[in-house]
Protein backbone atom coordinates (compact mmCIF):
# COMPACT_ATOMS: atom_id res chain seq x y z
CA UNK A 1 0.00 0.00 0.00
CA UNK A 2 2.93 2.33 0.71
CA UNK A 3 4.30 1.85 -2.81
CA UNK A 4 0.82 2.44 -4.25
CA UNK A 5 0.42 5.70 -2.29
CA UNK A 6 3.94 6.77 -3.21
CA UNK A 7 3.26 6.23 -6.93
CA UNK A 8 0.02 8.22 -6.80
CA UNK A 9 1.80 11.06 -4.97
CA UNK A 10 4.92 11.11 -7.19
CA UNK A 11 2.74 11.30 -10.30
CA UNK A 12 1.13 14.46 -8.93
CA UNK A 13 -2.22 13.08 -7.76
CA UNK A 14 -3.93 14.25 -4.59
CA UNK A 15 -4.71 12.40 -1.36
CA UNK A 16 -8.37 12.22 -2.39
CA UNK A 17 -7.32 10.53 -5.65
CA UNK A 18 -5.34 7.96 -3.66
CA UNK A 19 -8.31 7.35 -1.37
CA UNK A 20 -10.62 6.95 -4.37
CA UNK A 21 -8.36 4.54 -6.27
CA UNK A 22 -7.45 2.48 -3.21
CA UNK A 23 -11.16 2.10 -2.36
CA UNK A 24 -11.90 0.66 -5.82
CA UNK A 25 -8.89 -1.66 -5.73
CA UNK A 26 -9.91 -2.83 -2.25
CA UNK A 27 -13.42 -3.66 -3.54
CA UNK A 28 -11.90 -5.84 -6.24
CA UNK A 29 -9.67 -7.57 -3.68
CA UNK A 30 -12.65 -8.29 -1.42
CA UNK A 31 -14.63 -9.62 -4.38
CA UNK A 32 -12.01 -12.31 -5.09
CA UNK A 33 -10.38 -12.60 -1.67
CA UNK A 34 -6.99 -11.92 -3.26
CA UNK A 35 -4.81 -8.94 -4.07
CA UNK A 36 -5.17 -7.90 -7.75
CA UNK A 37 -1.62 -8.90 -8.72
CA UNK A 38 -2.48 -12.49 -7.71
CA UNK A 39 -5.35 -12.55 -10.22
CA UNK A 40 -5.08 -13.42 -13.88
CA UNK A 41 -6.24 -11.26 -16.78
CA UNK A 42 -9.36 -13.37 -17.27
CA UNK A 43 -10.56 -12.73 -13.73
CA UNK A 44 -9.96 -8.99 -14.13
CA UNK A 45 -11.97 -8.99 -17.37
CA UNK A 46 -14.84 -10.82 -15.66
CA UNK A 47 -14.86 -8.25 -12.84
CA UNK A 48 -14.78 -5.28 -15.21
CA UNK A 49 -17.61 -6.82 -17.23
CA UNK A 50 -19.57 -7.23 -13.99
CA UNK A 51 -19.02 -3.53 -13.17
CA UNK A 52 -20.17 -2.47 -16.64
CA UNK A 53 -23.40 -4.38 -16.30
CA UNK A 54 -23.93 -3.17 -12.76
CA UNK A 55 -23.33 0.53 -13.49
CA UNK A 56 -26.43 2.69 -13.88
CA UNK A 57 -24.63 5.88 -14.89
CA UNK A 58 -23.77 6.65 -18.53
CA UNK A 59 -20.17 7.57 -17.62
CA UNK A 60 -19.62 4.29 -15.74
CA UNK A 61 -17.36 6.15 -13.33
CA UNK A 62 -16.97 3.19 -10.97
CA UNK A 63 -15.68 1.09 -13.87
CA UNK A 64 -13.23 3.79 -14.97
CA UNK A 65 -11.87 4.47 -11.50
CA UNK A 66 -11.30 0.76 -10.97
CA UNK A 67 -9.20 0.65 -14.14
CA UNK A 68 -7.31 3.80 -13.13
CA UNK A 69 -6.67 2.35 -9.67
CA UNK A 70 -5.33 -0.88 -11.17
CA UNK A 71 -3.05 1.12 -13.48
CA UNK A 72 -1.46 2.88 -10.52
CA UNK A 73 -1.17 -0.40 -8.65
CA UNK A 74 0.69 -1.99 -11.56
CA UNK A 75 2.96 1.07 -11.86
CA UNK A 76 3.81 0.81 -8.17
CA UNK A 77 4.74 -2.86 -8.66
CA UNK A 78 6.74 -2.17 -11.84
CA UNK A 79 4.35 -4.16 -13.99
CA UNK A 80 2.95 -3.22 -17.45
CA UNK A 81 -0.77 -2.68 -18.11
CA UNK A 82 -0.67 -5.79 -20.28
CA UNK A 83 -0.03 -7.87 -17.14
CA UNK A 84 -3.76 -7.68 -16.38
CA UNK A 85 -4.90 -6.84 -19.94
CA UNK A 86 -6.33 -3.52 -18.77
CA UNK A 87 -8.51 -1.77 -21.35
CA UNK A 88 -7.98 1.76 -22.64
CA UNK A 89 -10.42 4.33 -21.31
CA UNK A 90 -11.60 6.62 -24.06
CA UNK A 91 -12.15 10.18 -22.96
CA UNK A 92 -15.70 11.35 -23.50
CA UNK A 93 -15.87 14.45 -25.67
CA UNK A 94 -18.64 16.33 -23.94
CA UNK A 95 -19.06 20.07 -23.80
CA UNK A 96 -19.58 21.43 -20.28
CA UNK A 97 -22.91 22.78 -19.04
CA UNK A 98 -22.86 26.59 -18.76
CA UNK A 99 -25.36 28.81 -16.97
CA UNK A 100 -26.56 32.09 -18.40
CA UNK A 101 -25.81 35.23 -16.40
CA UNK A 102 -29.50 35.46 -15.52
CA UNK A 103 -29.40 31.91 -14.13
CA UNK A 104 -26.34 32.69 -12.01
CA UNK A 105 -28.14 35.77 -10.64
CA UNK A 106 -31.17 33.63 -9.75
CA UNK A 107 -28.88 31.10 -8.11
CA UNK A 108 -27.35 33.78 -5.87
CA UNK A 109 -30.67 35.52 -5.22
CA UNK A 110 -32.48 32.42 -3.98
CA UNK A 111 -29.83 31.31 -1.45
CA UNK A 112 -31.40 31.26 1.99
CA UNK A 113 -28.14 31.18 3.95
CA UNK A 114 -25.44 33.84 3.66
CA UNK A 115 -22.86 31.06 3.92
CA UNK A 116 -24.22 29.37 0.79
CA UNK A 117 -24.45 32.67 -1.07
CA UNK A 118 -20.77 33.37 -0.33
CA UNK A 119 -19.84 29.80 -1.25
CA UNK A 120 -21.54 30.05 -4.64
CA UNK A 121 -20.22 33.59 -5.06
CA UNK A 122 -16.64 32.34 -4.71
CA UNK A 123 -17.17 29.32 -6.97
CA UNK A 124 -18.53 31.52 -9.76
CA UNK A 125 -16.78 34.83 -9.05
CA UNK A 126 -13.31 33.25 -8.74
CA UNK A 127 -13.72 30.13 -10.89
CA UNK A 128 -12.77 27.79 -8.05
CA UNK A 129 -12.85 24.01 -7.98
CA UNK A 130 -14.70 22.27 -5.15
CA UNK A 131 -11.47 21.35 -3.37
CA UNK A 132 -10.17 24.91 -3.73
CA UNK A 133 -13.20 26.60 -2.20
CA UNK A 134 -13.09 24.14 0.72
CA UNK A 135 -9.41 24.98 1.31
CA UNK A 136 -9.85 28.78 1.45
CA UNK A 137 -8.53 30.13 4.74
CA UNK A 138 -8.98 33.60 6.17
CA UNK A 139 -5.29 34.34 5.59
CA UNK A 140 -5.79 33.73 1.84
CA UNK A 141 -8.17 36.70 1.53
CA UNK A 142 -6.62 40.05 0.67
CA UNK A 143 -9.45 42.58 0.70
CA UNK A 144 -7.10 45.55 0.23
CA UNK A 145 -5.63 44.18 -2.99
CA UNK A 146 -8.95 42.57 -3.93
CA UNK A 147 -7.32 39.18 -4.38
CA UNK A 148 -7.73 35.60 -3.25
CA UNK A 149 -4.72 33.32 -3.05
CA UNK A 150 -5.65 29.82 -4.20
CA UNK A 151 -3.20 27.61 -2.32
CA UNK A 152 -2.04 24.34 -3.87
CA UNK A 153 -4.80 23.94 -6.42
CA UNK A 154 -4.86 21.09 -8.90
CA UNK A 155 -1.31 20.20 -9.92
CA UNK A 156 -0.02 21.56 -6.59
CA UNK A 157 0.16 25.13 -7.89
CA UNK A 158 -0.67 28.43 -6.19
CA UNK A 159 -2.38 31.25 -8.08
CA UNK A 160 -4.09 34.58 -7.43
CA UNK A 161 -7.59 35.42 -8.62
CA UNK A 162 -9.43 38.77 -8.35
CA UNK A 163 -12.13 39.32 -5.74
CA UNK A 164 -15.21 41.31 -6.71
CA UNK A 165 -16.02 44.32 -4.52
CA UNK A 166 -19.56 42.91 -4.17
CA UNK A 167 -18.12 39.61 -2.94
CA UNK A 168 -15.79 41.39 -0.50
CA UNK A 169 -18.76 43.20 1.10
CA UNK A 170 -20.61 39.92 1.48
CA UNK A 171 -17.57 38.09 2.83
CA UNK A 172 -16.98 40.77 5.48
CA UNK A 173 -20.60 40.46 6.57
CA UNK A 174 -20.32 36.66 6.63
CA UNK A 175 -17.07 36.67 8.63
CA UNK A 176 -18.55 39.12 11.15
CA UNK A 177 -21.65 36.94 11.59
CA UNK A 178 -20.12 33.44 11.55
CA UNK A 179 -16.68 34.22 13.02
CA UNK A 180 -14.74 31.41 11.31
CA UNK A 181 -11.35 30.80 12.94
CA UNK A 182 -9.26 29.18 10.22
CA UNK A 183 -11.05 27.90 7.15
CA UNK A 184 -13.47 30.39 5.63
CA UNK A 185 -16.13 27.70 5.31
CA UNK A 186 -15.44 25.71 8.45
CA UNK A 187 -17.52 23.33 10.49
CA UNK A 188 -17.49 23.14 14.30
CA UNK A 189 -15.80 20.03 15.64
CA UNK A 190 -18.41 17.45 16.65
CA UNK A 191 -19.27 17.51 20.30
CA UNK A 192 -17.37 20.71 21.01
CA UNK A 193 -19.23 23.61 22.59
CA UNK A 194 -18.85 27.22 21.66
CA UNK A 195 -19.08 26.88 17.88
CA UNK A 196 -15.30 26.78 17.29
CA UNK A 197 -14.69 26.40 13.56
CA UNK A 198 -11.69 24.14 13.02
CA UNK A 199 -12.48 21.77 10.16
CA UNK A 200 -13.32 22.23 6.50
CA UNK A 201 -16.74 22.15 4.94
CA UNK A 202 -17.13 18.70 3.36
CA UNK A 203 -17.20 18.05 -0.38
CA UNK A 204 -20.69 16.65 -0.02
CA UNK A 205 -21.77 19.78 1.85
CA UNK A 206 -20.58 22.04 -0.99
CA UNK A 207 -22.32 19.85 -3.58
CA UNK A 208 -25.54 19.87 -1.55
CA UNK A 209 -25.51 23.67 -1.22
CA UNK A 210 -25.17 24.12 -5.00
CA UNK A 211 -27.87 21.55 -5.75
CA UNK A 212 -30.30 23.14 -3.29
CA UNK A 213 -29.71 26.61 -4.71
CA UNK A 214 -30.22 25.30 -8.23
CA UNK A 215 -33.47 23.64 -7.19
CA UNK A 216 -34.72 26.81 -5.47
CA UNK A 217 -33.81 28.88 -8.54
CA UNK A 218 -35.80 26.42 -10.72
CA UNK A 219 -32.88 25.90 -13.08
CA UNK A 220 -33.62 22.99 -15.41
CA UNK A 221 -30.00 22.36 -16.41
CA UNK A 222 -27.90 19.73 -14.64
CA UNK A 223 -25.96 21.99 -12.27
CA UNK A 224 -22.87 20.81 -10.41
CA UNK A 225 -20.16 22.64 -8.49
CA UNK A 226 -17.98 22.63 -11.61
CA UNK A 227 -20.79 24.20 -13.67
CA UNK A 228 -20.06 27.48 -11.89
CA UNK A 229 -16.39 27.27 -12.89
CA UNK A 230 -17.39 26.61 -16.51
CA UNK A 231 -19.76 29.59 -16.37
CA UNK A 232 -17.01 31.81 -14.92
CA UNK A 233 -14.67 31.04 -17.84
CA UNK A 234 -17.35 31.31 -20.53
CA UNK A 235 -18.74 34.63 -19.29
CA UNK A 236 -15.25 36.15 -19.04
CA UNK A 237 -14.52 35.06 -22.60
CA UNK A 238 -17.80 36.54 -23.83
CA UNK A 239 -17.05 39.79 -22.01
CA UNK A 240 -13.75 40.19 -23.85
CA UNK A 241 -11.05 38.65 -21.68
CA UNK A 242 -8.33 36.88 -23.67
CA UNK A 243 -8.02 33.10 -23.51
CA UNK A 244 -4.51 33.12 -21.99
CA UNK A 245 -5.60 35.26 -19.03
CA UNK A 246 -8.55 32.91 -18.46
CA UNK A 247 -6.18 29.93 -18.56
CA UNK A 248 -4.09 31.50 -15.79
CA UNK A 249 -7.15 32.36 -13.68
CA UNK A 250 -8.41 28.79 -13.96
CA UNK A 251 -5.01 27.33 -13.13
CA UNK A 252 -4.93 25.15 -16.24
CA UNK A 253 -1.58 23.62 -17.11
CA UNK A 254 -2.26 23.49 -20.86
CA UNK A 255 -4.01 26.06 -23.03
CA UNK A 256 -5.75 23.20 -24.87
CA UNK A 257 -7.85 22.58 -21.75
CA UNK A 258 -9.04 26.19 -21.78
CA UNK A 259 -9.73 26.21 -25.52
CA UNK A 260 -12.94 24.20 -24.99
CA UNK A 261 -14.66 27.44 -23.90
CA UNK A 262 -14.16 28.85 -27.40
CA UNK A 263 -16.67 26.20 -28.54
CA UNK A 264 -19.26 27.40 -26.03
CA UNK A 265 -18.86 31.16 -25.75
CA UNK A 266 -21.06 33.39 -27.90
CA UNK A 267 -18.45 35.86 -29.09
CA UNK A 268 -19.60 39.00 -30.85
CA UNK A 269 -17.00 38.52 -33.60
CA UNK A 270 -18.22 35.06 -34.47
CA UNK A 271 -21.63 34.82 -32.85
CA UNK A 272 -23.76 32.06 -34.29
CA UNK A 273 -27.42 32.58 -35.03
CA UNK A 274 -30.41 30.74 -36.39
CA UNK A 275 -31.80 31.52 -39.87
CA UNK A 276 -35.18 31.93 -38.16
CA UNK A 277 -33.88 35.16 -36.61
CA UNK A 278 -33.24 36.61 -40.08
CA UNK A 279 -36.54 35.27 -41.39
CA UNK A 280 -38.57 36.91 -38.62
CA UNK A 281 -36.63 40.18 -38.83
CA UNK A 282 -37.39 40.41 -42.57
CA UNK A 283 -40.93 39.08 -42.73
CA UNK A 284 -42.27 39.00 -39.14
CA UNK A 285 -43.69 42.53 -39.20
CA UNK A 286 -45.49 42.12 -42.51
In the three-class reduction of DSSP (H, G, I as helix; E, B as strand; rest coil), residue 105 is classed as helix
- Residue 103 CA, chain-centre distance (Å), reads 19
H or E stretch at 186:
strand 186-188
Is 229 a catalytic site residue?
Answer: yes
Q: Report in angstroms the alpha-carbon separations of 107 from 3, 98, 130, 208.
A: 45, 13, 17, 13
Catalytic residue from among 116, 129, 134, 200: 129
Is 160 a catalytic site residue?
Answer: no
Provide the 8-state DSSP code for 221. S
> What was the pLDDT predicted at 80?
81
pLDDT at residue 130 above 80?
yes
Is 226 a catalytic site residue?
Answer: yes
Is 201 a catalytic site residue?
Answer: no
Give the number of residues written for the chain.
286
> What was the pLDDT predicted at 159?
93
Report the alpha-carbon distance of residue 17 to residue 23 in Å, rounded. Answer: 10
User: What number is the average pLDDT over the span 116-139?
Assistant: 94
Is 261 a catalytic site residue?
Answer: yes
Domains and CATH numbers, the chain: 2-83 (no CATH), 101-263 (1.10.443.10)
Is 24 a catalytic site residue?
Answer: no
Q: What is the pLDDT of residues 17-50, one digit of tens each?
A: 778 888 888 888 888 888 888 888 888 888 888 8
Catalytic residue from among 106, 149, 159, 226: 226
Catalytic residue from among 75, 149, 159, 252: 252
Q: What is the pLDDT of residues 182-197, one digit of tens each?
A: 899 987 655 444 555 5
> What was the pLDDT predicted at 54?
76
pLDDT at residue 59 above 70?
no
Q: What is the pLDDT of residues 229-246, one digit of tens each?
A: 999 999 999 888 899 999
Catalytic residue from among 71, 149, 154, 159: 154
> What was the pLDDT predicted at 101?
93
Catalytic residue from among 24, 116, 134, 229: 229
Phi/psi for 245 (5° steps) reads: -65, -40
Amino acid sequence: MYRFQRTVSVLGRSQSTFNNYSRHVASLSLYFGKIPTELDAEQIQDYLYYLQKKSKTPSQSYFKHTVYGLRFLLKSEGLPYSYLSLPEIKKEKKLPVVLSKEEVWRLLSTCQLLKHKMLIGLLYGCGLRCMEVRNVQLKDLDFDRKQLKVVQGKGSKDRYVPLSEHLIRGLKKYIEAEKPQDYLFGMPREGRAGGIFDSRYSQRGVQWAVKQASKSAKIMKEVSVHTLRHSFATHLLEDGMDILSIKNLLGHENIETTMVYLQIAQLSTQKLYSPLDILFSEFGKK
